[in-house]
Structure 1
Amino acid sequence: MTAPTVEAAIHELMDLAWNLVYDLLAERGLLGDGFDVAAYTGIHSWVEGLTRWTVVHSRTVAVLFVGTRPVDAIAFHHDILGADDPASFFTLPGSGRCWDL
């Protein structure tokens, strides 16, 4: 069980962009494991410059958000948590880590 504020943050982020999250999960073949928003119980967020990066994850799926936009989804593994650069586990659109949102 997650704390109410963590749960609210996860649901707010996922609900804002659920259609985009759904499309990412479908494209990556992860829909079966990641379809239920209630299954997402973890969140890891950090700021670089003016950009907030957030990983929301269930026990099997992780979704990377830049700002409030989901940009990639992968099968979750614990190495993401505590990594110096969690975004490096994901495929980012554009060249490098900067693109138009």
Structure 2
Amino acid sequence: MSTPTVEAAINDLMDRAWNAVFKLLCDRGLIGNDLDVEEYTGLASWTEGLTRYTVVHSTTVAVLFRDTDPVDAIPFHRDLLGSDDPKAFFNLH
């Protein structure tokens, strides 16, 4: 079995939760008429205890997942990359 590519992992996660991600982006005012899932180009993932956190981002937005559930979306900024605690940029409530 081969390791999935970043693109495949992003597409799999976004496909499973697209309706919830779309609602989250709309609720945060972060979606335009021409948003395309293919625009997502980055992924960072880590575990804390039994929970996996994943940030999927494009050049304009970032979405935080807890396990496979999207929990928040924010405008993307470079400070997220390489941060010791990327989830600190998001609202987890």
Interval containing the TM-score (normalised by the shorter chain): over 0.9
Q: How many aligned residue pairs are there?
A: 90
TM-score by length of 1: 0.85
Write out aligned runs for 1:56-95 (5 A).
56-93=56-93
Structure 2 runs not aligned, ≥5 long:
none
Cα distance in structure 1, aligned partners of 2:33 and 2:77: 13
Q: Which amino acid aligns with 2:68?
A: T
SS of corresponding position for 1:72? strand
Structure 2 vs 1, CA of residues 26 and 83 (structure 1 numbering), >3 Å: closer, same or farther?
A: same
TM-score w.r.t. structure 2 length? 0.92
Query: What's the secondary structure of 2:82's corresponding residue?
Result: coil
1:6 is matched with: 6
Mark the runs of 5 or more structure 1 residues left unpaired by the alignment.
Answer: 94-101
Identity within the alignment, %: 67
Q: Does 1:42 align with 2:42?
A: yes
Moved over 3 A (4+): none
